[in-house]
Structure 1
């Protein structure tokens, strides 16, 4: 499978899993009325509408802020998709696909509902991490993939064999 197709598969899988999980939890269950749902001693399902960006920063109450965030998400998705088309490795393409799928999933929420539906809450004792969703997790995984890809040696294919350089035969 080409890097682009791998990235596209990651994008589509992220988008479908994100939207399906949100639609099922919000419309297919009574989570809204019976939250929190304890999944483990450190994890709950809850309903949080995030009108901002990561960690609830830049909360937007008005329509202008909402549509500005949708526009920024779409612009980022387009730019990262162009990069994904040109990606030379599967790792880079999949990382970009995860980020684009997550950005589109959250943009759909923001356009449809005015906020992003977050539902996974991780915590331990008095420590509480932010509430997130599948799109957010995919974006984080994609950023980790970008970092890992940037640490790989440049200019050499992982399968290249120096002993087969036929352009300069040994004398």
Structure 2
């Protein structure tokens, strides 16, 4: 294992991962802006027999958890997202040389920040990817959610690979 860089060198080592997170935030916000500009709430476009583009608003968390609450959840989930972002930036500085781990953290960071921006700007998260089959619809999601999911899968893979090396 390579020695960890100190101070400013640790911050510089984290820059590529922070740049990846920023690219994910920008891509997420651009796609959501396009949806907001071209679709009204509930509008959709059929793309295939199993996929639609739809405009949906989620005031809750994953799978609309707490979406029916009275509004306090906006600030709870914003706070959790900000707290997670701070922790992830700290972890990226400490582990920037661990590529898969840092990639996973950068994806989660980009997704978390993308959804926090939505909560702060709109009071809800804009979702637009709608997969369905035989009348059953998976909950709509967005690029930020996808980045978080990819990051979570990569964290699990990183841990499995780390344990295998022992």
TM-score range, shorter chain: 0.7 to 0.9
Larger helix share, 1 or 2? 2
Residue 94 of structure 1: CA displacement?
A: 1.0
* 1:108 matched residue in structure 2: 117
Gap runs ≥5 in structure 2:
1-11
CA distance in structure 1 between the partners assigned to 2:79 and 2:68 by the alignment: 14
**Structure-2-length-normalised TM-score:** 0.84
2:52 equivalent among 44, 65, 69: 44
User: Are 2:80 and 1:72 aligned?
Assistant: yes
Count of residue pairs brought into register by the alignment: 153
RMSD over aligned Cα, in angstroms?
2.1
TM-score by length of 1: 0.81
CA contact (8 A) 1:7 1:95 kept: no
Task: Name the structure 2 match of 1:11.
Answer: 21
Residue 143 of structure 2: aligned partner: 134
Give the corresponding residue for 1:125. 134
1:98 has 2:97 as partner: no
What corresponds to 2:4 in structure 1?
none
Unmatched 5+ residue regions in structure 1? 157-171
